[in-house]
A and B are shown apart, each in its own frame.
Chain A
Amino acid sequence: MSQMEAISSSFRDRSGYVFLHNDIYYRAVNQVYKSDYDHLIKSGLYEFLTQKKFLIPHQEVNHLPLQDTIFTILQPDQIHTISYAYEWSFSMLKDAALCTLYNALYALEFGMILKDANTFNIQFINGLPILIDTLSFEQYNENEEWIAYRQFCENFIAPLVLMKYCNASLNKLLQVYPNGIPLNICISLLPLKARLNVHVYLHLFLQNKVSTKNKNGDSTSKRNFPKEKLLTLLQGLKTFVSSLNLTKDKTTWDNYYDDTILSQFYLTEKKALVKSFLDQVPFQTLLDLGANDGEFSMLYKNTTKQIISLDEDRNCIEKLYQTCKKDGIQNIIPLVCDLTSPSPDIGWHNEERSAMFKRLHPDIVLALALIHHLAIANNLPLEKIISFFHSLSEYLLIEFVPKEDPKVQQLLAHRKDVFDNYDLKHFKICIQSYYEILKESQVADTNRTLFLLKRKG
């Protein structure tokens, strides 16, 4: 394989491509994009957008060999955690949509236009969305429409509207339709009251109607779309996206810590114990599984450590994202993830967008009050659970919740207890074949046990 071969997701744009070299991601800019790239830099657009934190900063590098087709090579700021729109909460997708629109609006002021508007071009860096595809801009020709309009509607408007009017989990449809939710599918799911919103009607219903009627296209017609109309369109989209809010529905894990039967004393004691265990491990990246609204992720807020907080409950992840945004916490990235069915490899050749756990490389995994949900609620054998954790990181901080615990009793209340091997003794036998036990301690006044483990071999 060539040293500068494009990564599997970088093949759509002839302007350039991304490649990996010595564990650093670079972006090659092809000769065909030279004039647009020069305009991006010389017009001041690049400097403006990077200062506003709407576009990823880069350095031009010259230590790598240039092929004839390549104009220059960029080394962008490296992204710690790659995430996808089907793993975001509502506000994350909304902010990503706004980031795309700000880039489009400001580009016009500098004589350029945003030619791409897909969700994969936006990533969360230091707590906020940022456009990572530097080559998404091209010089604006007067009277040109927004080429990415339909793409923006299918990638951002459709999932946001479905989340608002139908169910807040429906951004998961982007996993099935990674290039955007087709408008005819989106409108078939929307209730009547959605159609009554003038923006929803125009961007989704009417657009679908016009494109279906206009099957033959009109490629011969002259381009005649005044700039003021383009600005009206973009401003209208911005106003609409800004106005979108989620009608809150209650989920299982809402107010978990407020409603929990376990005491405040338990929580305080557990936090102190977890912190004392974690402080003994040299880690940079922590993966908090079943993070809820980030109670334990917050132990390391505003430090240099990177925290990835996963929970299957979208309301918890939404709440955590809002808290991080409000308090300016930059080192926590909250993502929605059902551990029993995490995001798979998708796209062309199943290589375009990788599975969730291929993207995360934590030094330590935090699995607090989680194992009983996997073992009892999902019938997963302890061996399989431990083997999964073992594949993720060097260290594991895990809380074992025994069968006599009130929470486990709740899970067993309406089902037959077929979990003969679910006890501390069997748990310890399982972990000892994968890990060495560094620390072990009972949690506060419960019969739960906390283990700090280090991977064997």
Chain B
Amino acid sequence: MMTFLLYIDPGSSSMIIQMIVAGALGALFFIKNGWYKIKSFFIKSKDSDEDKKTPYS
């Protein structure tokens, strides 16, 4: 199998997998955001400090 794969452009299946992964991650973010909205409706949450973080903290 490995020998066969060596003759294929490594990027050829890249588009398909990236479509699936990006789609799944997009759905995940959508659900997560929805959940946060429901949560924040009931509980007043603190402002996110995401932007205040240094890149590697």
- Listed in ascending order, the chain A residues whose CB lies under 8 Å from chain B are 52, 54, 95, 98-99, 102, 128-129, 145-147, 149-150, 198, 202-203, 206-207, 210-212, 214-219, 221, 223-225, 229-230, 232-233, 235-236, 325
A276 vs B20: C-alpha distance in the bound complex, in angstroms?
62
Question: Is B25 a contact partner of A98 (Cβ separation < 8 A)?
Answer: no
If A198-B24, A230-B22, A233-B22 touch, does A212 touch B16 (CB 8 Å cutoff)? Answer: no
* A203:B21 contact, CB within 8 angstroms: yes
Identity of the chain A residue whose Cβ is nearest the Cβ of B29 in the assembled complex: A232
Any A CB within 8 A of the CB of B42: no
Q: Is the Cβ of B13 less than 8 Å from the Cβ of A214? A: yes
Contacts A219-B9, A232-B29 given; indicate if A98 touches B20 (C-beta within 8 A).
no
Cβ of A356 to closest chain B Cβ, rounded Å: 24
The reply to whether A202 and B24 contact each other, CB–CB distance below 8 Å, is yes
Asked whether B34 is an interface residue with its Cβ less than 8 Å from the other chain, the reply is no
Q: Which of A207, A225, A232 has the most CB of B within 10 A?
A: A232
Complex alpha-carbon distance, A211 and B14, angstroms: 8
CB atoms of B15 and A145 under 8 A apart: yes
Question: Are B21 and A217 in touch, CB under 8 angstroms?
Answer: no
Taking a contact as CB atoms closer than 8 A, the residue among B12, B28, B56 that contacts A214 in the complex is B12
Residue of A nearest to B57 (CB): A325
Q: Do the beta carbons of B15 and A223 come within 8 Å of each other?
A: yes
Q: What would be 8 A-B contacts, judged by CB atoms less than 8 Å apart?
A: A203-B21, A207-B17, A210-B17, A210-B20, A211-B13, A214-B16, A223-B15, A233-B21
B21 touches A218 (CB 8 A): no
| Chain A contacts for B22, CB-based, 8 A | 225, 229-230, 232-233, 236
Say yes or no: B14 contacts A233, CB within 8 Å.
Answer: no
The reply to whether B14 and A147 contact each other, CB–CB distance below 8 Å, is: yes
State which residues 17-41 of B face A: CB under 8 Å.
17-26, 28-29
A-B contacts counted at CB < 8 A amount to: 94
A-side contacts of B4, CB under 8 Å? 215
| Known pairs A218-B13, A219-B12; A233 contacts B20 (CB<8 A) | no
Does the CB pair A229–B19 fall under 8 Å? yes
Residues of B within 8 A of A (CB): 1, 4-5, 8-26, 28-29, 55-56
B55 touches A150 (CB 8 A): no
Nearest CB in chain A: distance from B35 CB, A? 15
B8/A215 in contact, CB under 8 A: yes
| Residue of B11, B24, B56 with most partner-chain A CB within 10 A | B56
Main SS of chain B's interface residues? helix
A98 to B20, CA, bound (A): 22
B17 near A206: Cβ-Cβ < 8 Å:
yes
A437 to B4, CA, bound (A): 62
Nearest Cβ distance between residue A59 and chain B, in whole angstroms?
25
- Chain B: minimal CB distance from A333 (Å): 15
Pair B19/A218 contact, Cβ less than 8 Å:
no
A98 and B53 CA atoms in complex are apart in Å by 13
A207 and B8 in contact, given A95-B56, A98-B56, A214-B13 (Cβ under 8 angstroms): no
A residues near B19, Cβ cutoff 8 Å: 145, 225, 229
B-side contacts of A218, CB under 8 Å: 12-13, 15-16
B17 A128 Cβ-Cβ under 8 A: no
* A385 CA to B10 CA, complexed, in Å: 46
Assess the A145–B18 pair: CB atoms within 8 A.
Answer: yes
Q: How far is the CB of A140 from chain B (nearest CB, A)?
A: 14
Which residue of chain B has the shortest Cβ distance to A212 in the bound complex? Answer: B1
Asked whether, in the complex, the Cβ of A202 is within 8 Å of the Cβ of B14, the reply is: no
Verify B56–A198 contact, CB threshold 8 A: no
The one of B8, B21, B23, B56 in contact with A216, judged by C-beta atoms closer than 8 angstroms, is B8
Query: Which of A198, A210, A235, A325 makes the CB contact (< 8 A) with B13?
Result: A210
Contact flag A206-B21 (CB < 8 Å), given A147-B11, A232-B26: yes
Residue among A129, A210, A224 having the largest count of chain B Cβ atoms under 10 Å: A210
Q: Is the pair B24, A229 in contact by a Cβ cutoff of 8 Å?
A: no
Of A95, A214, A225, which is within 8 A of B18 by CB? A225
Choose among A128, A150, A212, A325 the residue that contacts B10 (Cβ–Cβ < 8 A): A150
| Complex CA–CA separation, A325 to B56 (angstroms) | 9
CB distance from A328 to the nearest CB of B (A): 10
Contact call A211/B25, Cβ cutoff below 8 A: no
Contact yes or no, A236 B9, CB < 8 A: no
B contact residues around A99 at 8 Å (CB): 55-56
Q: Is the CB of A229 within 8 A of B17?
A: no
Further 5 A-B residue pairs, CB within 8 A, beyond A215-B5, A229-B26, A236-B21: A145-B15, A147-B14, A149-B17, A207-B17, A229-B22
Instruction: Chain B residues near A95: list those with CB within 8 A.
Output: 56
Provide the residues of chain A in CB contact with B12, threshold 8 Å.
Answer: 214, 217-219
